[in-house]
Structure 1
Amino acid sequence: MQRAIILTGASRGLGQALASQLLEPDHHLICLSRSRNDSLAREAADKQVKLDWVTIDLNEVDLLEERIRDIIASIDLSRLDSIYLINNAGVLQPIGPVENNDGVQIADNIRINLIAPMIITSSFIQQTRHLKIDKRILNISSGAGKKTYYGWSGYCTSKAGLDHFTRCVGAEQEELEHGVKIVSVAPGVVDTDMQAEIRASKEEDFKQVQRFIDYKKQGLLYSPEEAAAKLLKVLLSESFPNGQVMDVRDLE
């Protein structure tokens, strides 16, 4: 039997680390991103793991339901004993007080960080509800969903929304005999391109920028590989905590 995993934002950073660690013989990994990662494709070929790459722009939310339907239709569901979804893709911009934020960037942030995972989750549940197998969703959240950060109104709002969406879907699915289990996990401060973007912020736009610069200098950032391992520990746990909002620090 086989496990299928759909992963968004797989081409770099935390998504790339998650994808690499999911390249196991009994896995069928379906990676979604705007660009393909050739090194991952080579790694999958070397390990003889089935990897499909789907080029997709999560900003195009009107197309997502149909795209997920097509992706799941392409999987040999008869051979599966489990199917998982990881909503990992996310953006930070715009940074700065809301009155200085560009309206297009505000809309992009909410579409990619919140609307896209909501639609993908909806379609995933719809297309797998007939399956009497293990079904799980891991939403990658952020501590910004729980704390107030000056200059991150869009990012904080979208991640808070993702957390509460997780709670609501968990409550809905808890009622079903073969429901999907869902959690939202903040991975901690991870050394990715997003962190470099944060450190490049102007102090007038993001007042806590020095704190994040110090995190880097003091070696307090998780590597993408460390964060991915902690997230997959949650995803693959026998006691998957449905409807919960968690932080990787809860696992330490």
Structure 2
Amino acid sequence: MDIAIVTGASKGLGFEISKTLVHSNIEVIGLSRSTNDHVDYYEKMKNNIYTHLQIDLCNKEEIETIFKGIIQKLIMKQPKKVYVINNAGMVEPIERLGFLDANLIEKAVQLNYIAPMIINNLLLKELRPYNLEIVIVNVTSGAAERSIHGWSVYNSTKAAINMHTNVAGLEQEKDDKSHKIIGFNPGIMDTDMQCVIRGAKEDAFAEINKFLDYKKNGELRSPEVVSKALIDLLLNEELMNGNIYSIKDLI
């Protein structure tokens, strides 16, 4: 049985991705800082195929400790494929340069950019001696390619993860490896992140009315629809290393 590792698995897109994978008969290791009733229920119902681990992805030492255990599990089980969905992320701080909180800058950079790089590096390094195919998905955003007032931190971290994906994919192709590393832009979804965006101050975020209209006009896709499109891509299509896939091209 193939195994998937999903970060930010307790809610939103990460939770829906985990559900879709389980229903596709893929074992899931879900990671998040917190849990909830849905995750508890799902873990009990699918205890042979779903495991949830609590982790602070802003803590490098905790990432390394937790992933040592995950890596040992992968070595023991020897799945043919390992899917890694780096989904966890935060849009905060939404604020103009000169008004930002330094601690929030550090936290966002760690969660959105550094944590996925550490995870990807650990897995490729430690699993190199084993005959496992690794498929890495770095969840990105259209904000990686468009300047948005008040989003200098989020924009730059997503642009950075895109470049990480491009370069890592190039390296895999040059090394003639079977591993795949891609990016995935899920577009605008009806999640908690959108609630955070709509709660921003207008002077800190000039486009807030546009995002209020997305919700008002029913333009936000459901995470369930987006997750199914992503899993269909992973299971049924030939992936291009280093490519950034967009939900707009998949549905």
Fold shared by both chains (TM-score > 0.5): yes
Q: Report if the CA contact (8 A) 2:94-2:205 is conserved.
A: yes
In the alignment, structure 1 residue 158 sits paired with structure 2 residue 157: yes
What SS does structure 2 have at the residue aligned with 1:22?
A: helix
Aligned to 1:167: 166
1:69 CA displacement: 2.4
**Counterparts of 1:50 and 1:179, CA distance in 2:** 25
> What is the aligned length?
251
Q: Report if the CA contact (8 A) 2:55-2:62 is conserved.
A: no
**Counterparts of 1:77 and 1:192, CA distance in 2:** 36
In structure 2, the CA distance between the partners of 1:242 and 1:13, relative to structure 1 (3 Å rule), is same
1:224 CA displacement: 1.0
What SS does structure 2 have at the residue aligned with 1:151?
A: coil
**Counterparts of 1:153 and 1:174, CA distance in 2:** 32
Q: Which moved more, 1:239-248 or 1:22-31?
A: 22-31
**Counterparts of 1:41 and 1:3, CA distance in 2:** 22
In the alignment, structure 1 residue 23 sits paired with structure 2 residue 26: no
Divergent runs of 4+, >6 A: none
What SS does structure 1 have at the residue aligned with 2:150?
A: coil
In the alignment, structure 1 residue 197 sits paired with structure 2 residue 196: yes
**Counterparts of 1:79 and 1:109, CA distance in 2:** 34
Q: CA RMSD in A?
A: 1.7
TM-score of the superposed pair, with normalisation by structure 1: 0.93
1:76 CA displacement: 5.3
What SS does structure 2 have at the residue aligned with 1:155?
A: helix
In structure 2, the CA distance between the partners of 1:4 and 1:13, relative to structure 1 (3 Å rule), is same
What SS does structure 1 have at the residue aligned with 2:104?
A: helix
1:238 CA displacement: 3.3
**Counterparts of 2:246 and 2:2, CA distance in 1:** 25
**Counterparts of 2:33 and 2:201, CA distance in 1:** 28
1:126 CA displacement: 1.1
1:216 CA displacement: 0.6
Structure 2: segments with no counterpart, 5+ residues:
none
Query: For residues 59-208 of structure 1, what are the structure 2 equivalents within 5 Å?
Result: 59-75=58-74, 77-208=76-207
Q: Report if the CA contact (8 A) 1:110-1:158 is conserved.
A: yes
Summarize deviations over 1:53-72 as a string: whole Å, max 9, x none. Answer: 11100110233233212211
Equivalent pairs: percent with the same residue? 35
Aligned to 1:225: 224
Aligned to 1:9: 8
Q: Report if the CA contact (8 A) 1:147-1:156 is conserved.
A: yes
